[in-house]
Structure 1
Amino acid sequence: MQVITRSVIVDAPVDVVYEISNQVDRWPEMIPEYLKAEILRREGRKIWFRLTNADNMSWVSWRMLYPPLISYAERHEPLAPFTFNHLTWVYQPLPGNRSQMTWDMCFELVEDKRAEEPQWRQRMAEHTAANQEALREYIESVARKPESPAWQPVPVTGDAASATDNSVSPAGDSASRTENRRTENRRTGNTKQRARDEYR
């Protein structure tokens, strides 16, 4: 497994950074790597979408929103050449109405490409840096123009609490253990596990 972690400081409040950066359908305006972003459907906190990059390659991913501090995504189809590709974005408010945005990506290639993972990591780290800087510049330019439509909140359909609670239907002690685990993950800030717990 390969891990890429990179942070950037954005000169804008954390709620603005979260709202703008999670408007997936506007990513082609913000990030030159993407030619097209299509929202397929929304399921409470969860967004299904299709991305097309500058090489005209497309894939479907889903993204879970936990405003204003966390979003978590996984590549879904086609999954190849990965066995998995997960991405967590964490947002931290800073003094002076600034924010830190951290992207944490972990991935693994299919077995016959496993030896190429270090080279893939290098290329993906370069893309991460370029995409983060492009997004930072976009957000900061919009933050200076509050009349912009990009300030509109990210839609989360349905009741957020019920969307989370209804996603699990255990009984008895199992329900108690599940809730205790979720509470601990929230308390300790285990962001990736929290996102997975809420999805299940």
Structure 2
Amino acid sequence: MGYIRNAVQIEAPVDEVFSLTNNVRTWPSLFTEYESSEVIEETDNSVTFRLTTRVDEDGNQWSWIAQRRTNHQRRSTYSERMPSSGPFERMEIRWWYDPIGEKSTIMTWEQEFTLKGNAPVTEEQATNYLNKQTKIQQAVIKERVEQMCGTAPDAETYYRGVIIGRYQSGSEAAIADAFRRSDESELPHLLGVKSRHVWVLGDIYLHLVEAKSSLPTIIRQYINHPLFKEIKAEVDTYVQPLSPELNPGVGREIYRWTNTSVSAIPQTAQSA
């Protein structure tokens, strides 16, 4: 018999976590591994539903019917998966939730299973796979539930900067491809870049970057990094400064607004 048990701490009240994670209809948006969840029959304390996974890297897609019973008083559930085309002869899953104070919850998942005789994997392989996937899904659910409950930890401070220039008409695909190759490499992680957005308007090129450092700092620190130089040189063949004295064309932020504060940025400040 295979067995795994994993727990995660979610920074949200236990009743909210219990409610949000036990609505099987929303599982495709709560988990990353499910494509659909179809409710077949439902009562106050139980639900029978069909889960279908997303297609995996090997082209496999699995679907099965499960019955799930809920103990609202204990804040726990018990699920049993019907035998399906997958490798499991039996799969029992128990979830339970324990509050830590008023604003934090420990969510625990326990799984017991046996494999079919003709299963293509061993019990050890299945255990290792389920253990890995459970930890991944619990981390995803933690993040999404905390976002929904408005209890996610404060995000790191990121700077925003804009590079402005003139670009060659018809070079949009080449510019996008250069950044795509860069963003698939280790470079964004090295530079601390969180996101980038590139727009064109007429012959004007606008490149917005969110990063852990300001754009002038990044350019100064990494101008001689081989990969940075390669991407910059490629983009520079299509994009030029508005005028020589504005190279590299980093705009200055003069005003910022949020829901909670309004601030003016001195004219001499570089874009953040």
TM-score relative to the length of structure 1: 0.68
CA displacement at 1:77 relative to structure 2? 4.2
Matching residue of 2:54: 54
Structure 1 residue corresponding to 2:96, chosen from 90, 96, 100: 90
CA displacement at 1:110 relative to structure 2? 1.6
Letter in 2 for 1:132: Q
Structure 2 residue corresponding to 1:67, chosen from 51, 63, 72: 72
Alignment of 1:111-190 (within 5 A): 111-113=117-119, 116-144=122-150
Matching residue of 2:264: none
Q: Compared with structure 1, are the counterparts of its residues 29 and 80 closer, same or farther at alpha carbon in structure 2 (3 Å cutoff)?
A: closer
Letter in 1 for 2:71: Y
Mind listing any 5+ residue stretches in structure 1 that lack a counterpart?
A: 146-200
The sequence identity of aligned pairs, in percent, is: 28
- 3-state DSSP class of the match of 1:12? coil
TM-score relative to the length of structure 2: 0.51
CA displacement at 1:74 relative to structure 2? 0.7
Paired with 1:37 and 1:134, the residues of 2 have a C-alpha distance of 18
CA displacement at 1:134 relative to structure 2? 0.9
Letter in 1 for 2:63: S
Matching residue of 2:27: 27
CA displacement at 1:97 relative to structure 2? 1.4
Q: Greater CA deviation, 7-16 or 73-82?
A: 73-82
Paired with 2:85 and 2:118, the residues of 1 have a C-alpha distance of 14
Kept in 1: contact 2:63–2:85 (CA 8 A): no
Paired with 2:124 and 2:103, the residues of 1 have a C-alpha distance of 37
- 3-state DSSP class of the match of 1:125? helix
Mind listing any 5+ residue stretches in structure 2 that lack a counterpart?
A: 56-60, 152-272
Kept in 2: contact 1:61–1:77 (CA 8 A): no
Paired with 1:44 and 1:133, the residues of 2 have a C-alpha distance of 28
CA displacement at 1:83 relative to structure 2? 2.0
Paired with 1:47 and 1:96, the residues of 2 have a C-alpha distance of 29
Matching residue of 1:76: 82
* RMSD (Å), alpha carbons: 1.8
CA displacement at 1:95 relative to structure 2? 1.8
Extract structure 1 runs of 4+ deviating beyond 2 A.
111-115
- Which structure's residues are more often helix, by fraction? 1
Is 1:109 matched up with 2:77? no
Letter in 1 for 2:136: A
Paired with 2:15 and 2:85, the residues of 1 have a C-alpha distance of 31
Letter in 2 for 1:4: I
